[in-house]
Amino acid sequence: MSKIKLRRAIYPILIGLGVVGYMFYRDFDPAIFRDIRFTWGTAFWLFMALLFMFGRDIGYMIRIRVLSGHELSWRQAFRVIMLWEFTSAITPSAVGGTSVAILYVHKEGIGLGRSSAIVMLTSFLDEVYFIVMFPLLLLIVGVDNLFDITMAGGVLTKGLMTFALAGYFLKLAYVLILSYGLFLNPRGLKWLLMKIFRLRWLRRWYRAMNHIGSDIISSSIEIRHYGFRFWFKAFASTFLSWSSRYLVANALILAFFSVSDQFLLFARQLVMWIMMLVMPTPGGSGFAEYIFTTYCSDLISVPASLQLGAAALIAFLWRGVTYYPYLIAGAVIFPRWIKRNFGSSGTKKA
C-alpha cells in the first residue's frame, strides 16, 4: 500500500484541468452562453446525469455483492468500490485499481482466495462488455460514423481507429487467455506464464505472474459452483454500470444543448474508453478531456464555429461528474481505511 499516495490525486486533477484550460483558451467563445437558458429542462437533465452516475455505482455494488455471495453488506460494497475507483483514478488506465482491489475485498472479511476470484471475475465481466459491445456498435452505427470524420477545428479522427483497435485487441487477448485459464485449464495457463516469464527480459515480473497464476487457479475452483442465475445477475449489473457511465455525457449535453445523434454519442464514448487503455496518464487524465472535446464536438447541435468550445465546456462538466468525485471520496475514505486495517504504520504509508 506504500505505493498509493494521497498526494498523487493532485496530478490527474492538474493534468485534466490543464488540458481543459488550454482548450478553453484555444477554442472557447463566450457566444456559447448566448443561447443557454437555465430552465426546468436543464435541471432535469442535470439530475439525470447524477442519476446515471448513481446507476454506475449501484451497478458495481450489486455486482460485487453478487460475486461475494452477498457476504459483503451494502456499506462494505460502497467502501470497496470507492477505494477501487480512487485507485483507478490515480494510476494509469492500463493498470487501474485491480492490482490492490484484492486487498480491499480481503480486508472486508472475504478469504484471500475468494477475494482473488471476485476481482478476477470483475475484470473478466468488464472486458466481456467491451468485447461484445464494440463490434455490435460498429455494426449498428458504421465505421465511418465512428472514425472517418472531420471535426469543426479541422482535426481528422480517422487515425484514432488505430488506438481503438489496439485497445480492443489487447482486451480481446486478455479475455481469451483469462477464459482459457478460468474455464478450461488454469494449471496449464499458470505453467505457461511461468515458462514465458522465466525469459531474461521478463524475469522481473516472474513473482507477480506466479501470484496471478495462483489467483486464476483459485478463481477457477470458485466459479465451478456458479449457475445461470449468478451469471445473469453479474452480466446485468455490469451492463447497468457501464451503460450508465456513458449516458452521463448524453444527459449533460442535453442540459445545455441538443445532440444530433444520441446513440452515436454513446458509441463514441465506448470507443474512447477502449482508447484510454493505452494512455499512460493516471485515469486517462488529459487524454480523456482532449479526446472527448475533439471526438464528440460534431454531435453537439450548435454552429460549427462553436462546437469545439461547447465540447470543451461539456468535457469539463463530464469529468467533474464522472472522475473528480472519486478522487475526493478516496481522499476521505482511504486514510481511514488504512488506519483501520494497518494501524499507525499504515497511516505513515498513506
**Facing residues of 282 across strands?**
92
> Which of 237, 219, 216 has the alpha carbon at shortest distance from 70?
237
What is the average per-residue pLDDT within 61-80?
Answer: 94
Burial class (CB in 10 A: 0-12, 13-18, 19+), 226: middle
Are 62 and 74 contacting, i.e. CB atoms less than 8 angstroms apart? no
Res 294: pLDDT: 78
d(CA 45, CA 63): 27
pLDDT over threshold 80, residue 302: no
Q: Each residue of 174-225: pLDDT tens digit?
A: 899 888 888 888 888 888 878 888 877 777 877 877 877 887 787 787 777 7
Helices and strands, counts by H and E, the chain: 14, 0
Measured in degrees and rounded to the nearest 5, phi and psi for residue 72 equal -85, 130
Res 9: pLDDT: 56
pLDDT, averaged across the chain: 80
What is the average per-residue pLDDT within 160-180?
Answer: 84
Q: Could you tell me the pLDDT band of residue 102, with boundaries at 50, 70 and 90?
A: confident
**Percent of the chain topping pLDDT 70:** 79
User: Would you say the pTM of this structure is higher than 0.75?
Assistant: yes
Q: Could you tell me the pLDDT band of residue 12, with boundaries at 50, 70 and 90?
A: low
**Facing residues of 193 across strands?**
none
What's the CA angle centered on 111, arms 105 and 115, to 5 degrees? Answer: 40
Res 80: pLDDT: 94
Res 2: pLDDT: 46
Res 5: pLDDT: 58
In order of 37, 85, 245, 248, 292, the CA distances from 102 in angstroms are 47, 13, 23, 28, 32
> Which of 333, 325, 277, 274 has the alpha carbon at shortest distance from 49?
325
